[in-house]
Amino acid sequence: MKPLDFDIDPQVVGPFELLARLGAGGMGVAYLARRLPLGLTDDLTAAYRLAEPGGDEEAVEGRLVVVKMIQPGLLDGEPDTRERFDREIDAVRAVISARVPAVIAAAPPGAARPWFAMDYIAGPDLHTMVKLSGTFPVGAYAALGLALVDALRAIHGANLLHRDLKPGNVVLGPHGPVVLDFGLAVLAERQASQALTQTGAVMGTRTFMPLEQWKDTKRVKEPADVYALGATLFFAATGRAPYPFAPMESPPSFSGVDKDFVPLLAQILVATPSQRPTLKAVETGLLSLLTDADLTPQDAADQLAALVAGSGLIPELPAKAGTGHADPAIQERAQKAVDAGAAPDAPWGSDADDLSEIDPGFYGLVDTDEIELAAEAQGAAAEEAVAPPGYTPTLVDQAPTPAEPEAEVVSAHLPAPGAEPLPTSYSLDPPHPVRPPRPSAPPPVALRVAAELREAYAHRGDL
């Protein structure tokens, strides 16, 4: 986490006070925030789609959330893009599970800057945990797998898909593993809607996606998420992805994998979707693994919790996040902003008269120009960042070291059915178009912001 920079970061977004910056990327900025006990009218409560409509505002004071502010331009284009995005955020809210963070608020449909707020989960992500603390023993491994099964079961039960399940999107919270960035895949798809109308476009993280997703994201079904679950478990057992560059038709190498883990992983990590087990079958396999180890599911959950607690990787919260109460001055100014505005998130209407005491930057939008310049400068050295012109990646997780490939929209570069067989090895040259040349000397402000982002990524918190 990094302290807020009040030159570019707002102090309040909707009914939330921002406390720290968690990360930034092509889609926007993520902040740690807490709920303010504002006196909202029923209309405002409904406009913000708050999870506690009509409830006691004092009861929710201090609730920690992650606020993700989306760049306005990402939802431009087709006339109904914003309307569809709003409907999809509501669809994500329909997923009720302890393994998926609750979406508890979102920007009103007419807001100039889209954002949404999700419950904050305090814990390291799986990628950081494995890289810094080592691979998982059988109990922790099975507990992780059972939690992922529960998360995907809830998502699929709402007739939705994740399509970017990977270690960086799994946070080991105080009550067990939680799957993040469900819904950002929706946002990435909207940004890449033109690409995804064409067979052969890919969205996701290629080292954790199945072959059919690498060929054509648009038509994947639930077995694609099951494969990603298996690839994530493979990482927990080995510290590496099943394939170093992209999925293949041939089975992955199980060298170094505990022999007890191989049978189930071998069933999941197959190229043909219909041959993969169902979530129920994966659950049965994990329970059998526990039975053979003379462990109960509760024993396994306790083992995983102890592993996380002893890792020293649980993020340290800013001092004021622990107070439980907002600064009265901030709360008062936020209430004035809401009362003065003709619409939520837009308190600076031309018909508002009494705004002299409100800081114009209080609800100010983050200037993303510097962020994008920094991302360009930083991304030039990253092999996985190569993508076609016009592509915008999903909101970057605060990448640990070594960094995990981020979700991307790329051309598949794979043969059509009936064409030449897939290669059994890959050239080290990236299979995507190379970015246009960049200026040899990025602007100084870009270098400054890039340095700040690199520092933030090195001290990762969860999003």
Kindly state whether residues 26 and 68 are assigned to the same domain: yes
The pLDDT tens digits of the residues spanning 188-208 come to 444 444 433 344 445 678 999
pLDDT at 327 over 60: yes
The pLDDT tens digits of the residues spanning 49-98 come to 887 543 444 446 678 999 988 776 776 665 566 776 677 677 778 888 99
Among residues 99, 98, 137, 148, the alpha carbon closest in space to that of 295 is found at 137
Residue with tokens 């994201």: 217
CA–CA separation, 164 vs 152, rounded Å? Answer: 12
Token pair of 445, please?
């402000």
- Rounded to an integer, the average pLDDT of 245-253 is 94
Of 125, 164, 225, 462, which residue is the catalytic one?
A: 164
Kindly state whether residues 154 and 293 are assigned to the same domain: yes
Q: What is the CATH number of the domain that holds 53?
A: 3.30.200.20
Does residue 359 sit within a domain? no
Kindly state whether residues 202 and 62 are assigned to the same domain: no
Residues 6+ apart with CB under 8 A from 43: none
The share of the chain scoring above pLDDT 70, in percent, equals: 63
User: Please, what is the end-to-end C-alpha distance for the chain in angstroms?
Assistant: 10
Does residue 248 sit within a domain? yes
Residues 6+ apart with CB under 8 A from 401: 131, 457, 458
Contact 422, 415 (CB under 8 A): yes
Number of Cα atoms under 13 Å in the Cβ half of residue 269: 26
Does residue 295 sit within a domain? yes
Query: What are residue 118's DSSP bridge partners?
Result: 66, 103
**126: how many CB neighbours lie within 10 A of its CB?**
24
The DSSP secondary structure of 183-202, one letter per residue, reads THHHHHHHHTHHHHTSTTEE
Kindly state whether residues 281 and 207 are assigned to the same domain: yes
Does residue 2 sit within a domain? no
Kindly state whether residues 181 and 258 are assigned to the same domain: yes
Kindly state whether residues 436 and 294 are assigned to the same domain: no
Domains contained in the chain, number: 3
Of the listed ranges 15-29, 366-380, 382-396, 437-451, the least confidently predicted one is 382-396
Predicted pLDDT at 422: 43
Kindly state whether residues 183 and 142 are assigned to the same domain: yes
Give the global pTM: 0.71
Q: What is the CATH number of the domain that holds 179?
A: 1.10.510.10
Residues 176, 180, 184: CA angle, nearest 5 degrees:
170
CA–CA separation, 404 vs 426, rounded Å? Answer: 19
Residue 327 falls in the annotated catalytic set? no
Kindly state whether residues 103 and 215 are assigned to the same domain: no
Does residue 5 sit within a domain? no
Token pair of 51, please?
């999870």
Residues 6+ apart with CB under 8 A from 213: 163, 202, 203, 204, 220, 224, 227, 247
- Rounded to an integer, the average pLDDT of 20-41 is 85
The pLDDT tens digits of the residues spanning 355-402 come to 333 333 333 333 333 333 333 344 433 333 333 333 223 333 334 444
Does residue 361 sit within a domain? no
CA–CA separation, 275 vs 286, rounded Å? Answer: 18
Query: What are residue 35's DSSP bridge partners?
Result: 16
Does residue 350 sit within a domain? no
The pLDDT tens digits of the residues spanning 394-428 come to 333 334 444 555 554 443 344 444 444 444 443 33
Kindly state whether residues 32 and 161 are assigned to the same domain: no
In the sheet that holds 103-106, the strands lie side by side as 12-13, 16-25, 28-35, 64-70, 115-119, 103-106
Among residues 285, 295, 284, 248, the alpha carbon closest in space to that of 263 is found at 285
Kindly state whether residues 141 and 179 are assigned to the same domain: yes
Residues 6+ apart with CB under 8 A from 71: 27, 28, 368
pLDDT at 160 over 70: yes
Bond before 393 cis per omega within 30 degrees: no
- Rounded to an integer, the average pLDDT of 88-113 is 82
DSSP state at residue 296: -
Token pair of 314, please?
């649980």
Predicted pLDDT at 52: 59
More confident residue, 345 or 246: 246
pLDDT at 107 over 60: yes
Domain span at 130: 126-309
Does residue 324 sit within a domain? yes
Kindly state whether residues 162 and 92 are assigned to the same domain: no
Kindly state whether residues 135 and 248 are assigned to the same domain: yes
